[in-house]
Amino acid sequence: MSERDLYREVVDEVRELVRREAKGKPPRVALSKEVAARLEQLGGAKDLFDAPPAPPAPTAPPKAVAETGPSYREQMFAAPVMPVRQEVTPGDPSDSLERIIAEVGGCHKCTLGETRTNTVPGEGAPQARLVFVGEAPGADEDRLGRPFVGRAGGLLTDIIEKGMKLARAEVFICNVLKCRPPENRRPSPDEVDCCEPYLIRQLALIKPTVICALGATAAQTLLKSTALVGQLRGRWHNYHDIPLRVTYHPAYLLRSPGEKVKAWEDIQEVMRLLNGQIPRPF
**Position among 7, 148, 198, 248 found at the interface with ligand URA (CB under 6 A):** 148
Q: Which is nearer to ligand URA, 83 or 153 (CB)?
A: 153
Q: How far, in Å, CA of 121 to CA of 263, rounded? A: 25
Pairing of strands 210-214, 237-239: unpaired
Tell me whether the omega of the peptide bond preceding residue 181 falls within 30 degrees of 0, making it cis.
no
Please give the helix or strand (H or E) that residue 193 lies within, else none.
helix 189-206
**How far apart, in Å, do the first and last CA atoms of the chain sit?**
45
Coil, helix or strand for 225?
coil
Among candidates 241, 222, 96, which has minimal Cα distance to 232? 222
> Residue 119 burial (CB < 10 Å; 0-12/13-18/19+)?
buried
Q: Using CA atoms, how far apart are residues 9 and 244, in angstroms rounded to an integer?
A: 40
Smallest separation (angstroms) from ligand URA to the CB of 115:
16
Smallest gap from residue 223 Cβ to ligand URA (A): 16
User: Does 187 interact with ligand URA (rule: CB under 6 A)?
Assistant: no
Tell the smallest beta-carbon distance from residue 191 to ligand URA (Å).
13
Is residue 147 a contact residue for ligand URA (CB under 6 A)?
A: yes
Judged by CB under 6 A, which of 27, 83, 124, 153 binds ligand URA?
153
Q: Based on CB atoms, which residue is closest to ligand URA, 81 or 216?
A: 216
Cβ–Cβ < 8 Å for 123, 141 = no
Q: Give residues with Cβ within 8 angstroms of 252, minimum separation 6.
A: 215, 229, 259
Residue 225: φ, ψ to 5°: -130, 160
Q: If binding means CB under 6 A, how many residues of this protein chain bind ligand URA?
A: 13
Q: Is 138 in the site for ligand URA (CB under 6 A)?
A: yes
Per CB under 6 A, 124 contacts ligand URA: no
Q: Binding ligand URA by CB under 6 A: which of 88, 131, 152, 253? A: 152
Among 175, 220, 221, 247, binds ligand URA (CB under 6 A): 175
Q: Which of 27, 124, 137, 208 binds ligand URA (CB under 6 A)?
A: 137
Residue of this chain nearest to ligand URA (CB atom) = 134
- Residues 167 and 80: their CA atoms lie apart, in Å, by 32
**Listed ranges 90-98, 100-108, 141-149, 228-236: which one lies at the site for ligand URA (CB under 6 A):** 141-149
CB of 81 or CB of 173, closer to ligand URA: 173
Can you tell me which of 103, 135, 142, 191 binds ligand URA, judged by CB under 6 A?
135
Per CB under 6 A, contacts with ligand URA among 238-257 are 251
> Using CB under 6 A as the criterion, which residues of the chain lie in contact with ligand URA when the complex forms?
134-138, 141, 147-148, 150, 152-153, 175, 251
